[in-house]
Structure 1
Amino acid sequence: MFTIKSQPDRKAGRHIRQSLIKNEALPVLTLMGLLVGVLAGGSLIVFTTLIDIISRYGISFSAENNFSALSPVIRFILPVVGAVCIIVLLKMTPVRERSLGVPHVIEQLIFHHGELSIRGIIAQFWGALLALVFGFSVGREGPAVHIGAGIGSQLGQSLNQSDNFNRVLIGCGVAAAISAAFNTPLAGMVFAIEVVLRKFSMGSFIPVMAASVVAAVLSRLVYGADPAFFIPTIPTPPAISLERSAITLLMACMTGVLAGFMMQLNVWVTRRRGQRIVFPMLVAGLLMGSVGYFIPDVMGLGYRTITSLLEGQFFSSDYLVLLLVVKLTITALVLGLGVPGGIIGPLLFIGATIGALSTVIISGQAGEYSAPQAMVGMVAMMAAVLQAPFAALITVLEMTNNPHIILSAMESIIIACLIVSQCYKFDGLFFMQLKNRGIYPSLREECALSKVKVAGIMNTHFCRCPDLITVPELRQLQLEYQYAIIRQFPDNGRLLVNLEGISVLPFQQTITLSHQTATTRIEMTALGISLQQALTTMKKYGVNGLYIVEKMPVTQEEPVICGVITRQMIYYWYASIDGL
């Protein structure tokens, strides 16, 4: 007689909503993933096409970003003009929307339920486009990740679903962006899980895979097999030899040391910049223009140079050292000064240069090792800076279609990643940038609790009953339920009673539940909040428990209570998990 009877017309809707919150609606998520893949892949195609059109017809150089065709004066002026345009764009953007790129996506996932705004997406789109068109040494993949993740986030918010649902759709957008950018659907999926989501489950794996595949298909239909840069057939590396081992060891050590230096420089510049926009951006424009005046090969994406290195074209060791030092330094500086671009493209350039330079140093010429070592250097640099070894390894396999290069790649990735993580004591660059802003590392507990909904652990074995009940009634309730909710008068609040904690004295006939030590005051909260939000709500009201309603009432009508949750339940759940 004390049980809660759910209203029939709401039962089905609540069941569907709880299924989505608990990440059980895999078919629905997969369909949404396909849609995100189409939208994110299409957005990257539009983004890339606009860059080519503006470059070809607006700046008067070829769509292949051949800045060498421009006069030195034009090469100096372009980044300065671009810096001014970016300043105007950011000044038009609200302050809270100026955080851009992969670190912003990760921050929103951890602390803000994956909510990426439309204004932020627009600012990222046009900011990155301006940076690339005007010759800044940045990549397009970071902005593409933000745009793809934003599309997934907006779709999830429009459906008014749970944080877990939105999280998966954001992962779909990230995977689609990387997949379409490099024609690497498997690497796109792994990047999304390893770098951004940082959590593997079947509920996220299948939808992310679907988005990555459909984005790659779209990219191949438009750009063919080489959407980023032409990758020639990489010859099978010769059998293991002392010379080849020496090249690999030198390249891996150089990659690790230079990756750590680049990360340190970027974080230092970012810290010095603070929240300023105008002066740092103008400095970035002047630095980029000055470098471009003398060395045009370091401007823009640099994919032409990467292709030349992969084709085994010979560069002198002096010029390779010049390219390496200048590209690494200017990329770290302009990104640290706030230019809205990505870092993956420049990392590939730097890695390819390290691979080619190592070959020239050991062999004295480009030779048969040059192209494979350039390819290995690319992924080793990417793995070291992002601390994403699996994504890098999959990338080299998909790009080359040559499994014989895997051994050298694994050796280089292991050494480079260990140097960065153990010698420099660095996390991946994205997380270092968040830490630099006082955002990461967050408490391990906060990261875990922000990813799980109260619906996942709340207790549904409860009943409603009056404050005063008889001992036989108490015995019956203890057999059927764990908790009881009683209404407290006159303030109309509610109390939660742990029925298992009530003991009855001999000859006692009635029990006043509100007087029991197992009773605590509780407040109301909505079904869709996370465990971290639940703890925040408890702290706000000074209570140790909450009752969960399907929807927060807007009138005085009686809410539908779905379950109860206590601080102790959350702590027990957190103690039971192993990792995030």
Structure 2
Amino acid sequence: PLVLFGTVITHFFGGSAGREGTAVQIGGSIADRIGSIFGLKGNYKQILLITGIASGFSAVFGTPMTGVVFALEVLVIGKIQYKGVLHALIAALVADYVCLLFPIHHTHYQINTTVNENFYSIYFWLKIILAGILFGLVANSFSLLIYSFKKAYAKIAFRSWFTPIIGALIIILLAQLVGYDYLGLGVNPNYPGAASLIGAFHINGVTHWSWLWKLLFTTITLSAGFKGGEVTPLFFIGAALGNTLGILMGLPVDLMAGLGFIAVFAGATNTPLACCFMGLELFGSQYLPLYVVVCFLAYYCNGLGGIYEAQLISDRKSYFFFHTKQKTLGNYQEQGRLYLKRRIKNLRSKYL
């Protein structure tokens, strides 16, 4: 309940945060609590947790298959928990059906561009590969900025309760400088002509720097202690970046916005397979090869990044990353930061 109330308060006062991610957390928390009540332990409790995550994701996005794969993939990086697939599938389908019984409509995103043989040239694929790399780097910057801002707040604030005040003042100042487009959820425009997630699928729907402003607004908000999800802001950031890349690369804006939509989220959550399914459910199957390329490139190029510090690590993503004995992503990230600091210090002492 505290996460729910905190999210409502954040949105009420204009904080740049999501709410769907909170619903997924609530689903997982309820499942965990039920498991504790009935004394479930080990694999049984993990299966129940997977079920809760799948149902929460399916309900808020209207994508049951994505919810299933996301729940199976998100707990452990590099390993899918197949033991909970049937339970997650049933829960996701039921959750989606229950939502449809109410007058609730999920936001529809659409790619109108038709991909034909002219698209699949070497230059087209080079542009897609470059875009996938950039999506991954931006996904990494999301978690990096949250970490950096938290460190900065800790140095500035003389009391922990003063941190949200500093964050709120910064958000107010930014809003005065660049406008109110990036406050709140951002799915629909805050006023006619404002940048929004839906607008990112259209030419002139966002500016070239909308992705950066939304990135700053969201990371400043969340790192200051305001509650809310990261999911929808990541969608906004990815779609807006895709819009910009589409214009710069001479590719269809709606197609690139859709690819950015799923790829940045894939990198930030370390769930590339789930995001491929998300592309299928939201945009259709004709772009499947593009989903796979950008999502997995973003996943690898995200490196040590990730918004879920409690994610367990099965193995390193590739041979480009060092081995680690850390069990969680948060500890792995801290180890990586210490490693980079040592390398920079050694290089400075050697060449400066």
TM-score by length of 2: 0.78
Q: Secondary structure at the match of 1:324?
A: helix
Distance 1:202 1:192, change over 3 A: closer
Aligned with residue 214 of structure 1, among 56, 77, 94 = 94
Distance 1:315 1:444, change over 3 A: closer
Larger RCO (CA under 8 A, 6+ residues apart): 2
Is contact 1:140–1:345 with CA below 8 Å preserved after alignment? yes
Deviations 1:324-355 (A, max 9, x none): 21111221222122111111111100100111
Is contact 1:237–1:372 with CA below 8 Å preserved after alignment? no
In the alignment, structure 2 segments of 5+ residues that lack a partner are 189-195, 314-323, 329-352
Distance 1:409 1:201, change over 3 A: closer
Q: How many residues align?
A: 304
Say whether residues 1:356 and 2:259 are aligned partners.
Answer: no
| Separation (CA, whole Å) in 2 of partners of 1:259 and 1:125 | 25
Aligned with residue 429 of structure 1, among 282, 307, 310 = 307
The alpha-carbon deviation at position 315 of structure 1 amounts to 4.2
Q: In the alignment, what sits opposite 2:204?
A: 314
The structure carrying a bigger strand percent of its residues is: 1
Q: In the alignment, what sits opposite 2:292?
A: 410
Letter in 2 for 1:216: D
Q: Secondary structure at the match of 2:116?
A: coil
Q: In the alignment, what sits opposite 2:17?
A: 138
Describe how 1:154-303 pairs up with structure 2 within 5 A: 154-196=33-75, 200=80, 203-223=83-103, 226-227=105-106, 229-232=107-110, 234-239=112-117, 240-241=120-121, 244-273=124-153, 277-293=160-176, 294-303=178-187
Structure 1 segments (4+ residues) deviating >6 Å: 432-435
Aligned-pair RMSD on alpha carbons?
A: 2.7
Q: In the alignment, what sits opposite 1:345?
A: 232
Is contact 1:247–1:359 with CA below 8 Å preserved after alignment? no
Could you tell me the percent identity over the aligned residues? 24
TM-score by length of 1: 0.49
Letter in 2 for 1:177: G
The range that moved more, 176-185 or 286-295, is 286-295
The alpha-carbon deviation at position 431 of structure 1 amounts to 2.3
Aligned with residue 380 of structure 1, among 247, 260, 263 = 263
Distance 1:433 1:208, change over 3 A: closer
The alpha-carbon deviation at position 386 of structure 1 amounts to 1.5
Is contact 1:243–1:362 with CA below 8 Å preserved after alignment? no
Distance 1:156 1:292, change over 3 A: same
Distance 1:329 1:139, change over 3 A: same
Q: In the alignment, what sits opposite 2:349?
A: none
Q: Secondary structure at the match of 1:338?
A: coil
| Separation (CA, whole Å) in 2 of partners of 1:444 and 1:279 | 33
| Separation (CA, whole Å) in 1 of partners of 2:297 and 2:43 | 35
| Separation (CA, whole Å) in 2 of partners of 1:165 and 1:191 | 18
The alpha-carbon deviation at position 245 of structure 1 amounts to 3.1
Distance 1:433 1:203, change over 3 A: closer
The alpha-carbon deviation at position 427 of structure 1 amounts to 4.4
Deviations 1:198-231 (A, max 9, x none): 665554221111111111112223255x52x222
